[in-house]
């Protein structure tokens, strides 16, 4: 079926543009469960997504899309490359969500770009970019509200978008502890891939904890 793709969630992890690599048994399954639950939640709230259904522990069926070559990062609290790049303090809650665009190009290390770069080099259009930003902000408020009662603060995350055969813009890729930063509301414990990036230990335990809280809600 050319209108659908089978997505496999793998146990491999990379950081710093794949300079650091590892494999963690069970990670793919947890990300698949978490990502499926979040796509279902967002779809139910009217966000157009590529998700069709979860097939088994490590696979999802999704609508095939042509990916827009831009990674869309939304930040609520300062951390990560934002702090490294601009020298701002970590842990500051921003007065409103910050949207950053990065070019999806591993060879270049996914560089930060401006909206003008994205438009002038044809990576998106004015109309599509407007929609992307609207959906990204809506996803941010929906997910922030979803996670707060679970004792989880949505610090930041990365989204990818694509267009299907009919030209519809769909939220694509995955939404998981690999692509979001989750901090425990009470302890500030890192419950995401930063445990791997920063060698904090117990990576799988953090992903299990996110799934435990999501599945409890469901």
Which residues would be at the binding site for ligand TMP (CB under 6 A)? Answer: 73, 80-82, 110, 156-158, 179-181
CB nearer to ligand TMP: give 110 or 115: 110
Please report how close the Cβ of residue 109 comes to ligand TMP at its closest, in angstroms.
Answer: 9
CB nearer to ligand TMP: give 81 or 163: 81
Please report how close the Cβ of residue 52 comes to ligand TMP at its closest, in angstroms.
Answer: 22
Distance CA 41, CA 139 (A): 10
- Tokens representing residue 146 in the block: 């979803």
CB-closest chain residue to ligand TMP: 80
Distant-in-sequence, close-in-space partners of 125: CB < 8 Å, separation ≥ 6: 119
CB nearer to ligand TMP: give 3 or 200: 200
CB nearer to ligand TMP: give 48 or 80: 80
Distance CA 83, CA 71 (A): 18
Please report how close the Cβ of residue 191 comes to ligand TMP at its closest, in angstroms.
Answer: 12
- Tokens representing residue 51 in the block: 């998700």
Please report how close the Cβ of residue 6 comes to ligand TMP at its closest, in angstroms.
Answer: 21
CB nearer to ligand TMP: give 104 or 138: 104
Please report how close the Cβ of residue 3 comes to ligand TMP at its closest, in angstroms.
Answer: 26
Distance CA 157, CA 175 (A): 8
Please report how close the Cβ of residue 192 comes to ligand TMP at its closest, in angstroms.
Answer: 7
CB nearer to ligand TMP: give 157 or 161: 157
Q: In what order do the strands lie in the sheet with 4-8?
A: 4-8, 59-63, 51-56
Label each residue of 59-107 as H, E or C. EEEEECCEECCEEEEEEEECCHHHHHHHCCCCCCEEEEEEEEEEECCHH
């Amino acid at each position: 079926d050319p209108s659908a793709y089978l997505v496999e969630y793998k146990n491999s992890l990379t950081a710093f543009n794949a300079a650091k690599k590892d494999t963690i048994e069970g990670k793919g399954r947890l990300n698949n469960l978490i990502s499926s639950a979040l796509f279902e939640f967002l779809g139910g709230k009217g966000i157009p997504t590529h998700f069709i259904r979860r097939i088994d522990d490590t696979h999802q069926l999704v609508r095939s899309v042509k990916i827009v070559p831009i990674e869309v990062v939304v930040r609520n609290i300062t951390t990560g490359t934002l702090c490294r790049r601009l020298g701002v303090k970590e842990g500051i809650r921003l007065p409103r969500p910050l949207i950053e665009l990065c070019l999806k190009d591993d060879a270049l290390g996914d560089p930060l770009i401006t909206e003008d770069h994205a438009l002038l080099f044809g990576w998106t259009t004015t109309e599509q970019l407007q929609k992307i930003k609207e959906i990204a902000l809506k996803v941010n408020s929906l997910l922030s509200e979803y996670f707060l009662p679970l004792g989880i603060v949505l610090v930041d995350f990365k989204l990818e978008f694509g267009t299907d055969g009919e030209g519809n813009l769909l939220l694509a890729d995955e939404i998981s502890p690999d692509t979001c930063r989750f901090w425990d509301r009470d302890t500030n414990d890192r419950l995401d891939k930063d445990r791997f990036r920063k060698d904090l230990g117990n990576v799988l335990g953090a992903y299990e904890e996110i799934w435990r809280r999501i599945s409890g809600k469901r």
